[in-house]
Amino acid sequence: MSKKIFYFSGTHWDREWYQTFQGFRLNLIKTTGELIDVLEKNPDFKVFHFDGQTIVLEDFIEVCPEQKERLKRLIAQGRILIGPWYCMPDEFLVSGESLIRNLQKGFEMSKEWGTKAWKCGYICDIFGHIAQMPQILCGFGMEYAALSRGINEHSCTPFFQWVSPDNSTVTAYKMPERSGYGAFSMEVVGQRTHGECVAPDSEEFREKAGKYIDGQFARSDDIPIVMVMDGMDHEPIHKEALEYISVLQKMYPDTEIVLDDMLAAFRTAEKYRDKMAVKQGELSETAKELGPHIHLLIHTLSSRREIKLRNDQCQAIMERWLEPTQLIYTAKGIGFCRNYLSVAWKHLLQNHPHDSICGCSVDRVHQEMNYRFSQVESIYEALMDDCERQLSKGLQIIDKDQKNNKIILVNPLPYTRTADITITLPFAPDYPTWCEPFGYQNIAAFKLYSADGAEIPYCIRSVYRDGCVRIHGEKTAKADLYTITCTVLLQAAGFTNLTIVAQKEPVRYFGTMVSPQGTLENDYLRVTVCDDGSISLLDKISNKGYNNILSLVDAGELGDGWNSVSPCTDHVVVRTTLKGVMITADSPVYSEIKIVREMLIPKQMNYGAHGIERSDQHIPVLCECSIGLYRESRSLAVKLRMNNTAADHKMTLVIPTDTDTAQYEVNQAFAFVQRACGINTNSANWKEKDCLERATSGIVAKRSSDGTGLAVVAKGGIHECGVSDDVRKTMFITLFRAFGKTYTTNGEPDGQAQGEHEYDFQLVLLDESVTNTALQRMQDDWMTGVRAFVAPQSVDGTLLSVEGDLCISALKPAFDGSGDTVLRVYNPSEQVQKAAIKGLLPTADISVCNLLEEKENLLAVKTDTVLFEVPPYKIVTFRIHN
**pLDDT value at 608 more than 80:** yes
Mean pLDDT of 241-248: 98
pLDDT in tens, 325-350: 999 999 999 988 889 999 999 999 99
> Cα-Cα-Cα-Cα dihedral of 729, 734, 740, 744, to 10°?
90
Give the pLDDT confidence score for residue 415 in this predicted structure: 98
Is omega for the bond preceding 253 within 30 degrees of 0, making it cis?
A: no
Distance of CA 73 to the CA centre of its chain: 37
**Does 438 or 223 have the greater pLDDT score?**
223
Give the pLDDT confidence score for residue 1 in this predicted structure: 66
Mean pLDDT of 711-730: 98
Q: Using CB atoms within 10 Å of the CB of residue 863, give its burial: 0 to 12 exposed, 13 to 18 middle, 19+ buried.
A: exposed
Mean pLDDT of 777-790: 97
Lay out the sheet containing 417-427: strands in order across.
417-427, 475-490, 458-472
Nearest to 736 by CA among 637, 583, 601: 601
Beta bridge partners of residue 835, listed in sequence order:
868
Give the pLDDT confidence score for residue 572 in this predicted structure: 97
Please check whether the two domains, 406-509+786-791 and 800-882, share a CATH topology: yes
pLDDT in tens, 366-390: 999 999 999 999 999 999 999 999 9
Beta bridge partners of residue 641, listed in sequence order:
624, 758
CA distance 757 to 66: 47
Mean pLDDT of 82-104: 99
Give the pLDDT confidence score for residue 142 in this predicted structure: 99
What fold is seen in the domain 520-657+730-759?
Answer: Beta-galactosidase; Chain A, domain 5 (2.70.98)
**CATH entry, 406-509+786-791, from 1.10.760, 3.30.2420, 2.60.40, 3.40.50:** 2.60.40
In SS3 terms, 290-310 reads as: CCCCCCCCHHHHHCCHHHHHH
pLDDT in tens, 743-767: 999 999 999 999 999 999 999 999 9
**pLDDT value at 842 more than 80:** no
Range with lowest mean pLDDT among 51-55, 268-272, 406-410, 863-867: 863-867
Mean pLDDT of 726-734: 98
* Half-sphere exposure in the Cβ direction for 384 (13 Å, CA): 22
- Sign of the Cα torsion 357, 363, 364, 370 reads positive
The CATH code for residues 4-296 is 3.20.110.10
Task: Give the residue extent of every domain in the chain.
Answer: 4-296, 406-509+786-791, 520-657+730-759, 800-882
Helices (H) and strands (E) in the chain, counts: 15, 47
> Considering the chain, what percentage of its residues have pLDDT values greater than 90?
93
CA distance 264 to 656: 52
Cα distances (Å, whole numbers) of residue 870 to 49, 452, 824, 835, 865: 37, 35, 11, 8, 16
* Half-sphere exposure in the Cβ direction for 13 (13 Å, CA): 32
Tell me the pLDDT band of 198, cut-offs 50, 70 and 90.
very high
Mean pLDDT of 161-174: 98
**pLDDT value at 860 more than 90:** no
Give the pLDDT confidence score for residue 882 in this predicted structure: 76
Listed in sequence order, the DSSP H helices in 317-407 are 323-331, 338-349, 354-357, 363-392
Tell me the pLDDT band of 695, cut-offs 50, 70 and 90.
very high
Mean pLDDT of 202-213: 97
Mean pLDDT of 610-628: 96
Beta bridge partners of residue 880, listed in sequence order:
821, 846
**pLDDT value at 550 more than 90:** yes
Nearest to 13 by CA among 23, 26, 28: 28
Asked if the 800-882 domain carries CATH number 2.60.40.1180, the reply is: yes
Give the pLDDT confidence score for residue 645 in this predicted structure: 97
CA distance 453 to 810: 33
Rounded to the nearest 5°, which phi and psi values hold at 410? -110, 125
Per DSSP, 437 falls in state T
**What global pTM score does this model have?**
0.97
SS3 of 435, please?
A: coil
pLDDT in tens, 19-29: 999 999 999 99
pLDDT in tens, 303-331: 999 999 999 999 999 999 999 999 999 99
Nearest to 736 by CA among 811, 653, 795: 653
In SS3 terms, 99-165 reads as: HHHHHHHHHHHHHHCCCCCCCCEEECCCCCECCCHHHHHHHCCCCEEEECCECCHHHCCCEEEEECC
**pLDDT value at 493 more than 90:** yes
**pLDDT value at 191 more than 90:** yes
SS3 of 382, please?
A: helix
Q: Which amino acid is at 650?
A: K
Give the pLDDT confidence score for residue 663 in this predicted structure: 98
pLDDT in tens, 520-537: 999 999 999 999 999 999
CA distance 459 to 464: 15
Average pLDDT for the chain: 96
Cα distances (Å, whole numbers) of residue 142 to 103, 145, 808, 851: 11, 8, 24, 11
